[in-house]
């Protein structure tokens, strides 16, 4: 018997250097709605049925490092052409694009980073 069977992804928690700067990125740039604040150093965003939690770290992240705090997390979009629209929007807002937009076997994708170097994939997948 397995000791644990996951039924879904409940949340991802990211450590950030500056909670206010991170909140501006996730609210203003990505357009997520703040669900609640937990003290001065934690914020929770609801995305559909999932949650993204950001918490201010006690130690700073070195932006020149290639050692990401989380490998990446991904968000889906409903149409492949949205990937190019999102890439243009990210460029307009000086968001770092790591790779893409590009095609893959089952869709189209784009990788960006938030201000603290967390890698984010935005993709459309053909069903």
* pLDDT greater at residue 64 or residue 4: 64
Band the pLDDT of 60: cuts 50, 70, 90: low
Q: Determine the pLDDT at residue 4.
A: 47
Band the pLDDT of 67: cuts 50, 70, 90: low
Q: Determine the pLDDT at residue 22.
A: 94
Instruction: Tell me, yes or no, if the pTM score tops 0.85.
Output: no
Helix (H) or strand (E) holding 107: strand 107-113
23, pLDDT greater than 90: yes
For range 36-63, the mean pLDDT: 84
Answer yes or no: are the C-beta atoms of 73 and 120 closer than 8 Å.
yes
Starting from the edge strand earliest in sequence, which strands make up the sheet with 119-125, in order?
Answer: 73-76, 119-125, 107-113, 97-104
How far apart are alpha carbons 64 and 76 in whole angstroms?
28
Q: Which CATH number is correct for 8-59, 3.30.1950.10, 3.10.180.10, 3.30.1380.20, 3.40.1710.10?
A: 3.10.180.10
* pLDDT greater at residue 88 or residue 51: 88
Give the domain 71-127 fold.
2,3-Dihydroxybiphenyl 1,2-Dioxygenase; domain 1 (3.10.180)
């Amino acid at each position: 018997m397995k000791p644990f069977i996951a039924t879904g992804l409940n949340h991802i928690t990211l450590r950030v250097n500056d909670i206010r700067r991170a909140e501006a990125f996730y609210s203003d740039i990505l357009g997520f709605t703040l669900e609640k604040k937990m003290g001065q150093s934690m914020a929770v965003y609801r995305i559909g049925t999932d949650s993204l939690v950001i918490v201010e770290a006690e130690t700073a992240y070195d932006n020149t490092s290639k050692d990401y705090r989380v490998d990446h997390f991904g968000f889906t979009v409903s149409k492949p052409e949205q990937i190019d629209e999102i890439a243009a929007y990210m460029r307009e807002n000086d968001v770092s694009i790591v790779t893409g937009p590009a095609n893959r076997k089952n869709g189209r994708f784009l990788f960006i980073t938030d201000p603290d170097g967390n890698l984010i994939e935005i993709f459309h997948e053909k069903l």
